[in-house]
Amino acid sequence: MTTATGSNAGTSVKRVAVVMGLRTPFVKSGTGFAELSAVDLGAAVVSELVQRSEIDPKHIDQLVFGQVVPAPLDTLIGREVGLRSGLPKRIEAHTVSRACATSIQAMVAAHDSIALGNSAVAIAGGAESLSDAPLFASRPLAKALIEASRGKTLKDKVGAFRKLKLGDLAPLPPAIQEPTTGLSMGESAEKMARENGIRREEQDRVAFESHRRACGALEAGRLKDEVMAVYVPPRYQKVVAQDNLVRKDANLEALAGLRPVFDRRYGTVTAGNSSPLTDGAAAVLLMSEERARELGYKPLGFIRSYAFAALDPGEQLLMGPAYATPIALDRAKLSLKDLDLVDMHEAFAAQILSNLQAFGSREWARRKLGRDEAIGEIDPSRFNVNGGSIALGHPFAATGARMVTSTLRELERRQGQFALVTLCAAGGLGASMVLERT
């Protein structure tokens, strides 16, 4: 039997439940998962999610998965993760990408399919291995290699390389850079800090708070049921069981001592107040509310609304949350003060502070959104309560799924009702999702 997800005209929209979520530990790239690919990590998390949820794979209709820095040899990560995780081969799959909001995009694709009745049970998520980032040949070297492969004689083949300079032989890493502006993410964060008057000390305080809260969550065991241990292939003797980026000893003095990375002379963005390069994967199990009930699941919560938005990357690249959130809140028929929790992806402390500034500003709302009222001030006791991407790490495509799982579990702990998860992403994109518990 094969699964098919297609259009299903005339059906009413179904409410979509998040039944369970799980992630691998998030580790600094080049450490515990250095030998693994994004597909390995994605397959590990999907297979464990299926086991822990005890879902009979025969009920799963669809897998949607994403990766931001593509692996040229595993181009269709959605399908590869399905095949490698031991799921039945009949489960259809596809791949999505929306930069740092990729696993939100995966959830939205699955959500829409379920809401329209085209599928009833789906797994959505994302994986990233920056340890396994592809290296590219320079343009002249690539041209020479193609020319050589077409050469008929040895002389033709050797001749193809004659014009190369020594520098052409160096491999090129993928750029974390905006093609339209030429600025890296870190340089864009510097620009936001400068234009919004955000001081270094404020950024370091955000970073410190991220570590303090993440540390508190880990020590209290609040994250333990959402983080699996990974037995590292091929021998499965080494086990990676914990996040390794959270610093117990984080302190403001050490943060203040770090040198700026992206503008070495006048900058304020450092390795300490940026999200680090990270490997990891995360996934969620989604179902229509009625299928969850039929199968006897008590959902963690439901997706109430979502919105994506975009701004000119040449402005302030990482302001996506301030653009997408008011739309998601309107769609949810809620306002910021109705939310028990807000989780905002911490790409950089400067981006967090810039967005918080915009959220609280009526003038910004008028100028940028054409709205009369500010989005609202966020109560710090409800904001990024278990730390964020600065402390926990940011495997690009996995972060959204981590945030959704963690937020829904915290909402339950607090017996709250509504929460917001929001992310900035490359290209000036923003993603916001409103979650509800009952």
Ligand X SMILES: CC(C)(COP(=O)(O)OP(=O)(O)OC[C@H]1O[C@@H](n2cnc3c(N)ncnc32)[C@H](O)[C@@H]1OP(=O)(O)O)[C@@H](O)C(=O)NCCC(=O)NCCS
**What minimum distance in Å lies between the beta carbon of 282 and ligand X?**
16
- Quote the least distance from Cβ 175 to ligand X, whole Å: 10
Catalytic option among 100, 111, 211, 345: 100
Residue 215 among the catalytic residues: no
Catalytic residue among 94, 111, 345, 394: 394
Q: Which residues bind ligand X (CB under 6 A)?
A: 100, 176, 185-186, 207, 247, 250, 254-255, 258, 261, 271-272, 274-277, 347
Between 28 and 304, whose beta carbon lies closer to ligand X? 28
**Catalytic residue at 100?**
yes
Q: According to the 3-state scheme, what is the secondary structure of the chain?
A: CCCCCCCCCCCCCCCEEEEEEEECCCEECCCCCCCCCHHHHHHHHHHHHHHHHCCCHHHCCEEEEECCCCCCCCCCHHHHHHHHCCCCCCCEEEEECECECHHHHHHHHHHHHHHCCCCCEEEEEEEEEHHHCCCECCHHHHHHHHHHHHCCCHHHHHHCCCCCCHHHHCCECCCCECCCCCCEHHHHHHHHHHHCCCCHHHHHHHHHHHHHHHHHHHHCCCCHHHECCEECCCCCCCEECCCCCCCCCCCHHHHHCCCCCCCCCCCCCCCCCECCEEEEEEEEEEEEHHHHHHCCCCCCEEEEEEEEEECCCCCCCCCHHHHHHHHHHHHHCCCHHHCCEEEECCCEHHHHHHHHHHHCCHHHHHHHHCCCCCCCCCCHHHECCCCCHHHHCECHHHHHHHHHHHHHHHHHHCCCCEEEEEEEEHHHEEEEEEEECC
Q: Give 268 or 275: the residue with its C-beta nearer to ligand X.
A: 275
CB-nearer residue toward ligand X: 274 or 405:
274
Which listed residue (111, 211, 345, 424) is catalytic?
424
Beta carbon nearer to ligand X, 83 or 176:
176
Minimum distance from CB of 236 to ligand X (Å)? 28
211 noted as active-site residue: no
36 or 352: whose CB is closer to ligand X?
A: 352
Distance in Å, CB of 230 to ligand X, minimum:
21
Of the pair 185, 375, the CB lying nearest ligand X is at 185
Which residue numbers are catalytic?
100, 394, 424
